[in-house]
Amino acid sequence: MSGDNGGRAQDGGSRRATGWAEVVRLRTLPAAVAPVILGAEAAAATGDLVVVRTLLAAGVALALQIGCNLANDYSDGVRGTDDDRTGPPRLTASGQVAPGAVKLAAFGCFGLGGLLGLVLVVLSGQWWLLAVGAAAIAAAWFYTGGARPYGYAGLGEVFVFIFFGLVATVGTTYVQADTVPGWLWPSACGIGLLACSLLMVNNLRDIDTDPAHGKMTLAVRLGEAGARRAFSTMLHLPLLLGAVSLVWARETGSASPADGGGHISPLLTLVIALAAPLLLLPLVRRATAPVRAGARGRDLIGSLRDAGLLELAYGIVFAAATVLITL
Name the least confident of 74-78, 90-94, 118-122, 300-304: 90-94
- CA dist 65 and 31 (Å) reads 9
Closest CA to 166 of 198, 136, 194, 192: 192
Alpha-helical segments (H) within 85-183: 91-94, 99-124, 129-142, 156-161, 168-177
Give the pLDDT confidence of 199-211 residue by residue, as tens digits: 999 999 989 888 9
Sign of CA dihedral 32, 34, 35, 36: positive
Does pLDDT of 256 surpass 50? no
Give the pLDDT confidence of 288-302 residue by residue, as tens digits: 999 999 999 889 989
- CA dist 40 and 177 (Å) reads 10
Contacts of residue 247, Cβ cutoff 8 Å, sequence gap at least 6: 269, 270, 273
Q: 260's torsion region: left (phi>0), alpha (psi -120 to 50) or beta?
A: left
Does pLDDT of 255 surpass 70? no
Domain definitions of the chain by residue range: 27-325
Question: pLDDT value at position 11?
Answer: 40
Helix%, strand%, coil% for the chain, nearest 5: 80, 0, 20
Question: pLDDT value at position 316?
Answer: 96
Higher pLDDT, 263 or 313: 313
Q: How confident is the model at residue 252 (pLDDT cuts 50, 70, 90)?
A: low
- CA dist 207 and 201 (Å) reads 10
Question: pLDDT value at position 289?
Answer: 97
Alpha-helical segments (H) within 128-253: 129-142, 156-161, 168-177, 184-205, 218-251
Closest CA to 129 of 113, 107, 146: 113
Whether the model clears a pTM of 0.85, i.e. scores above it, the answer is yes
Name the least confident of 92-96, 107-111, 177-181, 201-205: 92-96
Mean pLDDT of the chain: 87
Give the pLDDT confidence of 69-83 residue by residue, as tens digits: 899 888 887 887 665
- CA dist 76 and 41 (Å) reads 37
- CA dist 311 and 198 (Å) reads 9
Q: How confident is the model at residue 323 (pLDDT cuts 50, 70, 90)?
A: confident
Q: How confident is the model at residue 6 (pLDDT cuts 50, 70, 90)?
A: very low
Name the least confident of 5-9, 127-131, 170-174, 242-246: 5-9
